[in-house]
Amino acid sequence: MATFLYKLGRLAFRRRHFVALIWVALLTLAGVGAASAPPAGNSSFSIPGTEAQKAFDLLEQRFPGASADGATARVVFKAPSGEKMTDAGNKATVEKTVDELADGSEVASVADPYTGNAVSKDGTIAYASVKYDVSGMELEESTKDALEDAAQQARDSGLTVEIGGDALQAVPETGATEVIGIAVAAVVLVITFGSLVAAGLPLLTALIGVGIGVSSITALASALELGSTTSILAMMIGLAVGIDYALFIVSRYRAELAEGREREEAAGRAVGTAGSAVVFAGLTVVIALVGLAVVNIPMLTKMGVAAAGTVAIAVLIALTMIPALLGYAGRRVKPAGAKGKRLGRFRKDDPKPDQPAGQPKANLGTRWASFVVRRPLAVLLLGVIGLGAAAVPAASLELGLPDDGSQPTSTTQRRAYDLLSEGFGPGFNGPLMVVVDAKGSDAPKDAFDDVAGEIKGLDGVVAVTPPAPNKGGDTATITVVPDSKPSSVQTEDLVHAIRDAGGDIEAKTGAETLVTGSTAMNIDVSEKLNDALVPYLVLVVGLAFLLLIVVFRSILVPLKAALGFLLSVMAALGAVVAVFQWGWLSGLMGVEETGPVMSMMPIFMVGVVFGLAMDYEVFLVTRMREAYVHGEKPNQAVVTGFKHGARVVTAAAVIMMAVFAGFIGSSESMVKMIGFGLAIAVFFDAFVVRMAIVPAVLALLGKRAWWLPKWLDRALPNVDVEGEGLRTAAERGTGPDEDRELVRT
């Protein structure tokens, strides 16, 4: 591995014009594809294997032309104080609004509140239901404008009018904080390298990689039904890993220059050593993201594969374009420490004038690692207890999917949600749709009535509409209104109770009862994700564990890496619960409404955080492994690994945190939550697990940390992540000319 990448790095350095041309051409091609691609249509949300999805598919089959996936809007009216919606003037205003809405070109139907029993018992609140032929993301702007204009005219008449539903659904925005995250990354890079040119290389390559990845996603969005969130998450992860991977290679290049090597040779060795770590770190991220497919939720699979593709591009760019740009930069990228010496200053690890030669002053990473190996048990206990305390809120984790009730109170969707709860009860915002398939029943109408009667007798039911059969008379829909809000445990219990009752009815009548609707769909998603979490962990952690055994040639080091990851991800989930569910520091994070954590959050965090956690494990521990392989004692190898890697890993972690934190400003609650969760997870994993717990465990294990059964050692391929093959070539006296000949051959 190291030898191949060494040759690749030197080739890219020497053929930099060709390499740069290829990447610019790919960026241009992706950009043209994105610009000429049709706009993304509806991002279909399906959950194969669930009852809610089965019922939804049955509705499309038995009720053709009903636009089951069309956008909906609820225009909610509230009368002024002391008046009622049944007053003549208010009634005339509502009927005029309904007539205006019905004239829309994409409107399928509009239900009049006064003929559809949509006025509250006290007469103060009413609503008109609007059904569209296309989904919310496909609605034309003119249709949305007409909806808002009709509502505004009703407001001008003195009514309070708000609009709920997904008709006004907008593409999520990330906000200015994303740019701030990139700016913070730039500042950290300048401080780390002490050079604008060296700092600019990781940023430039990361932006090119993300540009190619996101443009490709945009170009394919319509054909593959990719949602807007997919490109945002790909951008988030691609930026973070792209900057980090390039940072490690540039840092190693400067270290090789400081050892007196020629620039082409230094580029080859940087790619051969740090590049090997980049390849395996990238593989763990890709495995974790692609592994999301085991959940069998197409939307989540597409998000994972798209983000994995962007990570793969980041790896390829780091291995090829970074050495090419280093060739362009020439002497403008200085050896490590060269700037300080040129200005008459000394590096922290250079000998001072009054300090004996050969005894350099230890840098901060060396001093910290030396402290940890002297007090490993205390550091280990403190780190584990601290992360355990942070993980405590995770025990109260409640899962759900966002609805209008989780929107900020400043939005019309949230205000409409609150008005409907006020006028019709909290369960009105999450009605359940019961589908009765009586095709196998001898008396379909009796079966419909039996189901409706059975549901009326259940606890937690406010209202049950009469069965509405299709034209064939073999299928009917029944709307059930719970007395609890959609995201509550009581509503979930009611869904299960209806399904249990349906089993008894099917045994008696032969009619199958299915529960669907957005509320039931959310419940099924949560249960499916919970059921998939353990298999997903086994698959992803198992594959990465095998990969790390190959990298480190050890059993205990990968095991320690996996256990450390579990600590950091549980602590991160605890922080997410504390902020987004309990409301701690919610104002600081811009969280206007607390509630259940999104169902996808735990499994998505497990996948992404595992991949990113292994980045730091690979980057830091390969340096320790390299020192150990080259003859250092175990504890000294830990110190050496920190001497060379701690500063760069710290910079990489700060950059990744800044990039993720930049997405906290997103208008999309899922993106906001994931941005915060990943940022805090990187903090816990990089600074507590990898910087404290890892060296403490390695110090306690000593030589046992690198133990590997002889039979397994012989069976495993030698990937040479430490660059031992390069060192062996140097010891044989192979010079730059011979190495150049190797590249040619």
Burial of 471 (0-12, 13-18, 19+ CB in 10 A): exposed
Q: Is the pLDDT of residue 612 over 50?
A: yes
Structure confidence by residue, pLDDT tens digits, 338-349: 544 443 444 444
Mean pLDDT value across the chain: 82
Is residue 359 pLDDT above 60, yes or no? no
Confidence (pTM): 0.76
Higher-scoring residue by pLDDT: 135, 61: 61
Q: Which of 65, 403, 39 is nearest to 226 (CA)?
A: 39
Evaluate if residue 430 carries a pLDDT over 90. no
What pLDDT shows up at residue 734? Answer: 46
Q: Is the pLDDT of residue 685 over 80?
A: yes
Q: What's residue 713's pLDDT?
A: 82
Q: Which alpha helices (DSSP H) does 86-140 contain, by range? A: 88-102
184-214 pLDDT, tens digit per residue, is: 878 888 887 777 888 888 888 888 998 998 8
How far is 414 from 403, CA to CA, in rounded Å? 9
pLDDT reported for residue 378: 94
pLDDT above 90: residue 460: no
- Is the model's pLDDT at 237 over the cut of 70? yes
pLDDT value for 26: 93
- pLDDT tens per residue, range 33-68: 888 877 655 555 677 878 888 888 888 888 776 555
Residue 363 reports pLDDT greater than 70: yes
DSSP secondary structure letter of residue 581 = I
DSSP 292: G
Across 68-89, average pLDDT: 86
Query: 649-682 burial string, b = 16+ CB within 10 Å, else e?
Result: bbbbbbbbbbbbbbbbbbbbbbbbbbbbbbbbbb
The model's confidence at residue 351, banded by pLDDT at 50, 70 and 90, is: very low
CA distances in angstroms from 134 to 55, 62, 205, 213, 318, listed in the order given: 20, 19, 40, 29, 43
pLDDT value at residue 194: 73
Distance CA 47, CA 296 (A): 7
Q: How confident is the model over 623-646, as a mean pLDDT?
A: 84
Residue 459: helix, strand or coil by DSSP?
A: coil
User: What does the pLDDT read at residue 732?
Assistant: 45
Answer whether residue 544 shows pLDDT above 70: yes
Q: What pLDDT is recorded for position 577? A: 92
Residue 380 has pLDDT above 90, yes or no: yes
| pLDDT at site 385 | 95
The 3-class SS string of 181-235 reads HHHHHHHHHHHHHCCHHHHHHHHHHHHHHHHHHHHHHHHHHHHHCCCHHHHHHHH
Averaged pLDDT, 223-247:
79
Sign of the alpha-carbon torsion through 200, 206, 209, 215? negative
Percentage with pLDDT > 70 across the chain: 88
Residue 401 has pLDDT above 80, yes or no: no
The dihedral over CA atoms of 183, 189, 195, 201, expressed in degrees to the nearest 10, equals -80
| ∠ CA 122-125-126, rounded to 5° | 120
Nearest to 544, CA basis, from 235, 242, 289: 289
Residue 622's pLDDT is 79
Query: 420 or 743: which carries more pLDDT confidence?
Result: 420
3-state SS, 301-335, equals HHHHHHHHHHHHHHHHHHHHHHHHHHHHHHHHCCC
Contact 369, 549 (CB under 8 A): no
pLDDT interval class at 741 (50, 70, 90): very low
* Model pLDDT, residue 355: 44
Report d(CA 489, CA 495) in Å as an integer: 10
DSSP secondary structure string, 329-395? HGGGSPPTTHHHHHTT---TTSPPTTS-TT-PPP-HHHHHHHHHHHSHHHHHHHHHHHHHHHHGGGG
Q: Which range has the worst mean pLDDT, 274-283, 419-428, 601-610, 716-725?
A: 716-725
Q: How much is the pLDDT for 551?
A: 80
Per-residue pLDDT band at 19 (split at 50, 70, 90): very high
Provide mean pLDDT across the span 240-256: 86
Q: How confident is the model at residue 724 (pLDDT cuts 50, 70, 90)?
A: low
Which amino acid type is present at position 249?
Answer: I
When mean pLDDT is compared across 118-122, 127-131, 164-168, 699-703, the lowest value belongs to: 164-168
pLDDT band at 172 (very low <50, low <70, confident <90, very high): low
Q: In three state form, how does the secondary structure of 497-552 look?
A: HHHHHHHHHHHHHCCEEEEECHHHHHHHHHHHHHHHHHHHHHHHHHHHHHHHHHHH
Query: Which residues, at least 6 apart from 669, have a Cβ–Cβ distance to it below 8 Å?
Result: 402, 406, 598
pLDDT in the model for residue 688: 92
What is the Cβ-side half-sphere exposure of residue 502, based on CA atoms within 13 angstroms?
19
Q: Between the ranges 144-153, 183-192, 498-507, where is the mean pLDDT highest?
A: 144-153
Q: pLDDT by residue (tens digit) across 318-333?
A: 999 999 999 998 888 8
pLDDT at 352: 44
Select from 24, 37, 43 the least CA-distant residue to 215.
37
Contact status, residue 617 vs residue 561, Cβ threshold 8 Å: yes
Measured distance between the N- and C-terminal CA atoms of the chain, rounded to whole angstroms: 17
Say yes or no to pLDDT of 737 above 60. Answer: no
Instruction: Name the token pair of 236.
Output: 């988030």
What is the structure's pLDDT at 693? 93
What does DSSP say about strands 597-598 and 399-400: parallel, antiparallel, or unpaired? parallel
- Flag whether pLDDT at 177 surpasses 70: no
